[in-house]
Amino acid sequence: MEQIVEKGGALLELGLLLLVGYLFGNLANFLRLPRVSGYILAGIIMSPSLLGVIDRKFLESAEVITHASLSIITFLIGASLSWKRVREFGKSIALITFGEAELAYLSVTITMALYLYYTHGESLNIVIALALLFGALASPTDPTATLAVIHEYRSKGPLTTTVLGVAALDDATGIINFVLGFSLALALTSGTSLSLGSLIQEITFQIFGAVLLGLLMGLIMFFLGGFAKKRKEAVTLTVGMLLFTFSLARVLGVDELLSTMSVGVTIANLGNAWEEFEKPLENYIEDLIFTAFFVIGSAFLDLKVLLYFLPVVLIYITSRFAGKFVGVYMGGHLSKAPEKVKKYLAFALFPQGGIVIGLALLAYQNPNFRETGSILVNVVIGATVVHELLGPISSKLALTKAGEVLEK
């Protein structure tokens, strides 16, 4: 099999992952599961850790596919946040996001600190530093799986609107938490003093720089959209603008995902502009993007890692969900959110992947965390296996229980 794949090259692997992803997506539908569950299962089966249909060399060169997919997916998330749609739930979205993100951070930090202290015998500074990093990584939600489920089942209602808003803000909150947690952990392990001014400056630049870039690119995209004579031309404009924005954000050192998400928010709130871009994306490339992203992304997951770090992975997953569940309920109660939002939103926020692996690798690459950082990376990757497998099912269950799913 390896010889066939090697002779066929990257195009053979890309063709196979799309075809197998398509077949597994249909199988998932047959079993009354979201298509994205089939894509994830296909990626794991074809991964280097199992059948090896997708080899590590291909995965290492697949960054352009995953980044392109993420730029479009985050744009779609941002485009779902028109002011007309979210203004009724704006207070709920803000309070719930703060509650679930920060309580997940606190819950995981405390739980992991206690576990590492009593099981690994590390120094107190190292234990607290690692726990802070774990806590910071607990905040973000992977909105791509939930968005795929929402689009597949065409769900609408208070829970759908709230989960999209919360998932979008989770990215910004997660970045803030990570910068804070990473800076504190670095101060603990290196013995250097923590500069509050530089910390605030870094967060401000990452967040507001990304938003301003996305706003500017959205305005340019809106202007250029006036020259699109046919709807399918909007696809070329949209993809080109998003790839350019994602890359420019990387060059400028601001958050790429927030930048492309902000493009979507801008377009969604410029009159009826979004109508010119929505259908072409939905009709021509949306399913292709979801298939490629989830099959490739899940091929990185190693089941051996999951089994080896299973106890700490389960502690991380459980404490994270507990924090999000309590935070959702408290934020929902304070904002007087609908009861079904308070009851089911945490289950739709279960998925996690993508950005947290990138952030974990960023911490690992720092010399101060070279040894202990391997624990962080492996636990996060192991947890991603569980989150990505169960996340779409959990999201569908939440939306179904809330009565917002339109069965196909």
Does 214 score more than 70 pLDDT? yes
pLDDT of residue 104: 92
pLDDT of residue 324: 92
The rounded distance, in Å, linking the Cα atoms of 312 and 379 is 7
Kindly report the three-state secondary structure assignment for every residue of the chain: CHHHHHHHHHHHHHHHHHHHHHHHHHHHHHCCCCHHHHHHHHHHHHCCCCCCCCCHHHHHCCHHHHHHHHHHHHHHHHHCCCHHHHHHHHHHHHHHHHHHHHHHHHHHHHHHHHHHHHHCCCCHHHHHHHHHHHHHHHCCCCHHHHHHHHHHHCCCCHHHHHHHHHHHHHHHHHHHHHHHHHHHHHHHHHCCCCCHHHHHHHHHHHHHHHHHHHHHHHHHHHHHHCCCCCHHHHHHHHHHHHHHHHHHHHHHCCCHHHHHHHHHHHHHCCCCHHHHHHHHHHHHHHHHHHHHHHHHHHHCCCHHHHHHCHHHHHHHHHHHHHHHHHHHHHHHHHCCCCHHHHHHHHHHCCCCCCHHHHHHHHHHCCHHHCCCHHHHHHHHHHHHHHHHHHHHHHHHHHHHHCCCCCCC
Task: Give me the count of residues in the chain.
Answer: 408
Average pLDDT, rounded, for the chain: 80
pLDDT in tens, 263-320: 988 988 887 766 666 666 766 777 888 888 878 877 877 777 677 778 888 999 999 9
The rounded distance, in Å, linking the Cα atoms of 387 and 183 is 27
Which value, in Å, is the radius of gyration of the alpha carbons in the chain?
Answer: 21
Tokens matching residue 39:
């894509």
Contact 98, 331 (CB under 8 A): yes
Tokens matching residue 198:
């530089």
Does 135 score more than 60 pLDDT? yes
Does 355 score more than 90 pLDDT? no
Contact 134, 316 (CB under 8 A): yes
pLDDT of residue 325: 93
The rounded distance, in Å, linking the Cα atoms of 143 and 158 is 17
Domain 64-286+311-401 has CATH 1.10.10.350: no
pLDDT of residue 236: 84
Tokens matching residue 81:
């946040």
Q: pTM of whole model > 0.85?
A: no
pLDDT in tens, 158-175: 888 888 788 777 766 776
The rounded distance, in Å, linking the Cα atoms of 326 and 321 is 9
Does 11 score more than 90 pLDDT? no
pLDDT of residue 213: 95
pLDDT of residue 353: 65
Contact 85, 77 (CB under 8 A): no
Residue ranges per structural domain of the chain: 64-286+311-401
User: What count of Cα atoms within 13 Å lies in the side-chain half-sphere of residue 168?
Assistant: 30
